[in-house]
Structure 1
Amino acid sequence: MYNFSIKPVVMASALLMGLSSGFAQDNLVNALKNNASSNSKESFKFTDVINLENTSIKNQGSSGTCWSYSANSFIESEMIRMGKQPVELSQIFSARNAYVEKGKMYVRMHGAVTLGDGGAFHDVMNMYRKYGAVPQTVYTGLNYGTDKNKFAEMSGVMEGVLAAVVKNPNGELTPNWEKAYTAVIDAYLGQVPTSFDYKGKKYTPQSFAKEVVGINPDDYVEISSLQEYPYYSKFTLLVPDNWAFDQVYNVKMDELTEIIDNALKKGYTVAWAGDVSEKGFSWKNGVAFIPEKNFADMTPEEKADMFNGPKPEMKITEELRQKAFDNYTTTDDHGMHIVGISKDQNGKEYYIVKNSWGLSNDYKGYLYMTKDFVKYKTTDIMVHKGAIPSAIAKKLKL
């Protein structure tokens, strides 16, 4: 969701969820292809401990919509957990509605909020609550001649309209600006249906959300961990893509993975947001860890061997985590979906993570992320309240 200057792929990372779009997705994936080793898949022997059911891998294309893809994937798995037949939901329906609401907030704030494609998990839940949901087959968002999302032109036009509105050339805003802004979005993504047929029955987006999807958005919470705020209270996560200024719960660092572990063991998946611009993150090899040795201090041979089998990791502390968030080396640049736990040949546990970059890596769209990576690089997670260990839930007053 944000970052500005620290790491070699920082700008591409920032663009992915927040500051722009278009070539951002391609830039980040291409940059991360450099973080790869030649024999990685042969060097790791993963054995699944928990692998919860989830829907097919998607590709967000050249758009900063990972937050919508991961949160909608999370909702689809929630349908499975609830014993429902999962529906492949329209990620762009959620994003389109969030862009409408973000535009309103941008004007209210006289331009002092972030534009771009980026967002947060709560945006999906908030849009679900207000607008409902539709199947992917009903609203693809591909209204401009491509077979994948390509948002750069649309984002530029949207920003131009809003910039003109904020300048307020008439000295007083008319209500027509909202119509003009929404018309731009609909010109690129298509108008949303007021009703549609699904399996022989007619629905509105609101009735489809209630009768078919059936989740209660109030059952889900976002959780983070930062030393600067009191633990077990709520705070506003200060990242640019939190344009809605929603709040998250604060827990201790080790409790992040405790919550994720408990969730997975109870059959709940977890939406994960955090930093993937680290040298220890390899999309091509499908592995993410925190090397024990600083990348700049590695020999060429060590760098080439980084992902060829399990490696020792740096000891992660709450102080280190807070420092990385404060100095922009932890950036909120991507959202994914945690669906299980696996062990390597040494018995070390990794989270099985579903991505939205297509099938182009060693594990056909999935990757294995260590718990230390999660402790260090998570900005926030979203879980069902029932997934939280009872002792922590009690401290959070849930």
Structure 2
Amino acid sequence: MNKFSLFLGVLSLSFTSYSQQYDFQTIKEINCLPVISQGNTGTCWSFSSTSFLETEIIRTTGQKVDLSEMYNVRFTYLAKAENYVMRQGKAQFGEGGLNHDVINSAKKYGLTTEAVFSGKLSADAKHDHSKMVDELEAIVKKAVAETPLKYPNWKEDYNAVLDKYLGKIDAVKPTDAKEYKIILNDYVTITSFTHVPFYSKFILNIPDNFSNESFYNVTLDDFVQNIDNALDKGFTLALDTDVSEETFSTKNGIAVIPENSSDMETILTEIKPEKQITQEYRQAEFENYNTVDDHLMHIVGKVKDQKGNIYYKVKNSWGTTSGKDGFMYMSVPFIKLKAISVMLHKDGLTKNTRKALNI
């Protein structure tokens, strides 16, 4: 009887060592405002960037300020329309954008709070831009087809649609970011690709980079080291990433890259070996469109599992019923392969990276 019990104990221990469900231990967690939902909109870039700026305000002032996501969305829609029309329709037009679009808008138009401008016509409404985007697109396409000479009032019509769906903005008195002790020029975006020299600055040719902003290029190892360094020093990061992988699971709150294809399903609930991501593999997946910039989120912490594997705690904008209370846990291999870029305060960079980039 005792031998049988011992056998069962050894068998159980052996099974546990090969089949462990995720149990995360916090390494670093930075205070952020609650998870909210972007609703039926393609404005994750603003929710990501706005959440990032909110944590920066906490860091610089200790205040929790609920900023308006839609305030800068509105101005970015205007910038995107002008770009599309002046490029005679040969440019991206849609709901997508990147982190720097919010920074650019805030530089020109400042910031405001959710209480002042929610972008909703009633307090209990949910964000839904489906009809609005169709109407906006019809206007800019008409402006291109007829030319602004024959359609001189296209901007007035365009603004009228924004007024109808987001609310009027004329009476809003913005706040300069400096009042929150934020210097918008202090934010930089880093990425890692081989088609341009490392430690150079370049325009990343991805569809949503309609404003042709530049990115700093670093090696893949430095890319991860700078994420870790920023978090360790109390800085969060705004993230642009691919979420099209089957192993990006909002049901389980996990984003991983399994080493073995046979683990595609089990790795969502159990710790399994992950693929070693090289610089060359990352580049190949980007160039063949397996890695695209389709979602932006906010890195706010770091955890580890029972085996010591590291994951990043990432705040999403799909509401608290998505992921683990609205957060995703991304493994290092997932970040290495699928993260297009991160935006952070320049003081979050390592000394070596700052020196190499001359920042």
Tell me the TM-score normalised to structure 1 length.
Answer: 0.82
Aligned to 2:276: 315
Of 334, 352, 368, the residue aligned with 2:313 is 352
Contact 2:257 2:274 in 1 (8 A): yes
> Partners of 2:130 and 2:74 in 1: how far apart?
14
Contact 2:242 2:339 in 1 (8 A): yes
Contact 2:237 2:298 in 1 (8 A): yes
Aligned to 1:210: 178
State the AA in 1 paired with 2:268: F
Between Structure 1 and Structure 2, whose CA radius of gyration is higher?
2
Counterpart mapping for 1:182-331 below 5 A: 182-195=159-172, 204-207=173-176, 209-211=177-179, 213-294=180-261, 298=262, 302-331=263-292
Distance 1:145 1:81, change over 3 A: closer
Q: What do you get for the CA RMSD once the two structures are aligned?
A: 1.6
Give the drift of 1:146: 6.8
Give the drift of 1:173: 5.2
Distance 1:361 1:255, change over 3 A: same
Query: For structure 1, which runs of at least 5 residues remain unmatched after alignment?
Result: 1-41, 196-203
Per-residue CA shift, 1:239-294, capped at 9, x if unaligned? 11111011100001111110000000000000010101111211110111101023
Greater mean alpha carbon deviation, residues 177-186 or residues 267-276: 177-186
Query: For structure 2, which runs of at least 5 residues remain unmatched after alignment?
Result: 1-19
Aligned to 1:57: 35
SS at match of 2:260: coil
Of 389, 392, 397, the residue aligned with 2:350 is 389
Contact 1:144 1:188 in 2 (8 A): no
Contact 1:354 1:365 in 2 (8 A): yes
Give the drift of 1:176: 2.2
Aligned to 1:367: 328
Q: Which runs of 4+ in 1 moved over 6 A?
A: none
Give the drift of 1:361: 3.4
Alignment partner of 1:72 is 2:50: yes
SS at match of 1:373: helix
Give the drift of 1:193: 4.4
SS at match of 2:298: strand
Of 119, 141, 153, the residue aligned with 1:176 is 153
Contact 2:61 2:181 in 1 (8 A): no
> Partners of 1:330 and 1:177 in 2: how far apart?
36
> Partners of 1:169 and 1:354 in 2: how far apart?
43
Give the drift of 1:111: 0.8
> Partners of 1:279 and 1:58 in 2: how far apart?
24
Contact 2:311 2:329 in 1 (8 A): yes
Counterpart mapping for 1:130-145 below 5 A: 130-143=108-121
Aligned to 1:118: 96
Q: Taking every aligned residue pair, what percent have the same amino acid on both sides?
A: 41
Per-residue CA shift, 1:49-88, capped at 9, x if unaligned? 1001000101000101111001000000001111331211
